[in-house]
Amino acid sequence: MKKLALFVGNCQAIGIMKFLINCPEFNQIYDCKFYANWEMIENKDILPINELRNCDLFIYQPLKKVFGCYSTDPTIDGSLGSLVKNSAIRISFPYVYNTAFWPIYETHTLEQRQRLNLIGWQGTYVIDKMFNDGMSEKDIIYSYDNNLINWDFENRFEQTFNILKEKEKITDLKITNYISDNLSKKRLFLTQQHPTSHIFIELSNNILDIIGLDKTEFNKLYFDLNHAVLPDSVYKHSDGKLPMSIFDKEFYAFEYDETSNYSFNFYKEIIKKYINGK
């Protein structure tokens, strides 16, 4: 009889699970089950008590005490974290997030922004500053067309990266060093909240190492940047990716090239949308 591996987190837990399932040695030992933490909270779901008590491997993203029964803190009676048996292997991983690889974009749909009371944009303060400096829409579009806009990638990256470093302080898995070492070599993010397979492979192999299994060369078995099939919920790109722009390619000195006329026009239209919606 196989052991139970229980995954609790956002869609990133699905990404890790999909890679581990494709590791033959792991798949021989474990059956996998996933629960979306945000969905349980939003729907006020009853906890999967039986699975929590019987899992042998608990892979999760930490949730603080304020989330009550959905917290992964074992000191909260009746919480997710408290119901996992002491003999289970617990492995925590951070919410891997970076907003700084694209010039300007929406992070949420209009419906989501209205329902959840969110700003739902990234990079717009750059455009706001240009307006405040007296530039017109025509001036801003001219600046965009001629690569004259400073998208503040350095500060945006540092801010997001430091948040991830803080989150890593309480997790078993770390990813910031891998991001630092590879950000110019490989595409690491599909969107701000969806990592590519490169990051999922790194996290999955770290889990295999912790539980005493050999690391797997997943990219030699099969490879797709979005093997986890994570959706682009805002712009509906079929590959799940925000397009690379010439601006981020130049700033980060990417060693790969996904720029295109489509991506150039894509971000121009987003600027116009933001300006006309102000």
The model's pLDDT over 38-88, given as tens digits with 9 standing for 90+, comes to 999 999 999 999 999 999 999 999 999 999 999 999 999 999 999 999 999
| 226 assigned to some structural domain | no
More confident residue, 7 or 120: 7
Does residue 37 contact residue 70 with C-beta atoms inside 8 Å? Answer: yes
Q: Are residue 67 and residue 104 in the same domain, yes or no?
A: no
pLDDT at position 108 over 90:
no
Q: Are residue 9 and residue 48 in the same domain, yes or no?
A: yes
| Residue span of the structural domain in which 61 resides | 3-96+188-221
| 229 assigned to some structural domain | no
Rounded-to-integer distance, Cα 181 and Cα 167, Å? 19
Q: Are residue 81 and residue 169 in the same domain, yes or no?
A: no
Rounded-to-integer distance, Cα 200 and Cα 206, Å? 10
* pLDDT score, position 78: 95
Outline where the chain has alpha helix (H).
11-21, 24-29, 37-43, 49-54, 80-83, 110-116, 124-132, 137-145, 153-168, 176-182, 197-210, 218-221, 246-252, 261-276
Q: Are residue 203 and residue 259 in the same domain, yes or no?
A: no
Q: Are residue 43 and residue 88 in the same domain, yes or no?
A: yes
Q: Are residue 254 and residue 199 in the same domain, yes or no?
A: no
Handedness of CA 248, 253, 258, 261 (dihedral sign): positive
Q: Are residue 78 and residue 161 in the same domain, yes or no?
A: no
The domain spanning residue 75 has which CATH number? 3.40.50.12080
| 255 assigned to some structural domain | yes
At 189-219, the pLDDT tens digits run: 999 999 999 999 999 999 999 999 999 888 6
At 220-232, the pLDDT tens digits run: 666 789 999 999 9
At 130-142, the pLDDT tens digits run: 999 999 999 999 9
Handedness of CA 7, 12, 18, 19 (dihedral sign): negative
* pLDDT score, position 216: 87
Q: Are residue 78 and residue 205 in the same domain, yes or no?
A: yes
| 59 assigned to some structural domain | yes
| 155 assigned to some structural domain | yes
| Number of domains forming the structure of the chain | 2
Q: How confident is the model at residue 109 (pLDDT cuts 50, 70, 90)?
A: confident
Q: What value does the mean pLDDT take over residues 239-250?
A: 97
Q: Are residue 133 and residue 254 in the same domain, yes or no?
A: yes
Q: Are residue 133 and residue 174 in the same domain, yes or no?
A: yes
Q: What value does the mean pLDDT take over residues 239-254?
A: 97
Burial classification of residue 222, based on how many CB atoms lie within 10 Å of its CB (0-12 exposed, 13-18 middle, 19 or more buried): exposed
pLDDT at position 35 over 80:
yes
Q: Are residue 29 and residue 160 in the same domain, yes or no?
A: no
| 227 assigned to some structural domain | no
